[in-house]
Amino acid sequence: MREVAVIGVGMTKFGELWDMSLRDLFVEAALGAMKGAGTDSIDSIYVGNMSGGQFVGQEHLGPLMADHLGLGGVPATRVESACASGGMALRSAYLEVASGMSDLVLASGVEKMNDGADVTGVLATASDQEEEVYYGVTFPGLYAMIARAHMEKYGTTEEDMSWVSVKAHRNGAKNPHAQFRRVMSLEDVLTSSVVAEPLRLLHCSPVTDGGAAMVLCPLDRAHEFTDKPVKILASGAATSSLTLADRADPADLDVVELSGNRAYEMAGVTAEDIDVAEVHDCFAIAEICCYEALGFVEKGFGKDAAREGITDLGGKIPVNVSGGLKSKGHPVGATGIAQAVTIIEQLRGEGGEVQVEGAKIGLAQNMGGSGASSVVHIFQGV
């Protein structure tokens, strides 16, 4: 396999973008990535998208997006893995370049969620219809069960989860792409309305429109396009049971641990080597579980990480300096690419107000459903 580098990135603003369509979001992000790479030539396109069919009535996204980008004829494929669609699109693009099949591949993700669809119902398609949805369980409900299991096993409290949200908004307030650029106090979080006990509104990610993209090429060609290439050290993926009740321990995200371990092994690094990370905080409890599953803290100590500043900017392992899904926003098909874009910017020293000083190795972890799929990428500046 060839070594692979990221040579250009692009991302739209995230939020309720009423004046932009699904294709508009894709084209803006893709053109940004191609401009950054200094190329108008692409060999192949991957589009991460969870549910364009239900959100905006549009399937067959590959050729649609290629056409509107002005690249008709280029092979283009939609990739779906629920909220991990973007990360899996990046993995697909990485494998195509690494295999030698193509030299310039566009990895993208896009979702338009605010055009009137039943968002809760659409998102529920990423859970088990027969064993969960039929009985009325929603994703806030599933993650509330994960939170309750973590509380029972490790003594996690509602305040512990709330510190994750406080950190997210403190970082997101400094991110020009973020949906919610406002600081939230601990009291703000703890007094927000209950969504699914013990989860409150400010423990939950919002409904978001947005797109993100990046251009990949062989590492040995990267300097033809940019002075700041970033190498993809590893891509690790895994699945677990779709149904939460079928997991051995709902308090532990086994899929994240497995995908992370595969990425660490491939990259030849450990959790101790990671300087900055973006993890899938669709709900505050998910970030706490990811801390543990990725080895940033020992099992049972995830609840302490945000409160003690371990994962804050300037802490031992800064996590979600972008504001994460909670503050930056969560356009489900775009999230995995957006996470990677943040890491690329960090490793290039382009993180702005949330730059992690001396960051050399970064990790992006993207998850689907209640932990049924996960993909982890590890990057290094070169």
Active site residues: 83, 330
Matching residue, tokens 């990610």: 205
| Structure token digits, residue 185 | 């106090």
Cα distance between residue 165 and residue 159, in whole Å: 10
| Structure token digits, residue 53 | 């069919």
Number of H helices, E strands in the chain: 13, 11
Q: Which one-letter DSSP state was computed for residue 211?
A: E
Cα distance between residue 264 and residue 128, in whole Å: 30
Instruction: Determine how many CB atoms are found less than 10 A away from the CB of residue 370.
Output: 30
Peptide bond into 198 cis (omega under 30): yes
Ranges of H-type helices in the chain: 22-37, 52-56, 61-68, 85-99, 119-123, 139-154, 158-172, 186-190, 254-267, 284-293, 302-305, 324-327, 335-347
> What is the distance between the terminal CA atoms of the chain, rounded to a whole angstrom?
19
| Structure token digits, residue 202 | 């400010």
Is the C-alpha dihedral spanning 215, 256, 81, 137 positive or negative?
Answer: negative
Contact 261, 378 (CB under 8 A): no
Cα distance between residue 297 and residue 308, in whole Å: 12
Residue 24: partners with Cβ closer than 8 Å, 6 or more residues away:
none
Cα distance between residue 28 and residue 43, in whole Å: 19
Cα–Cα nearest to 46, from 123, 115, 113, 102: 102
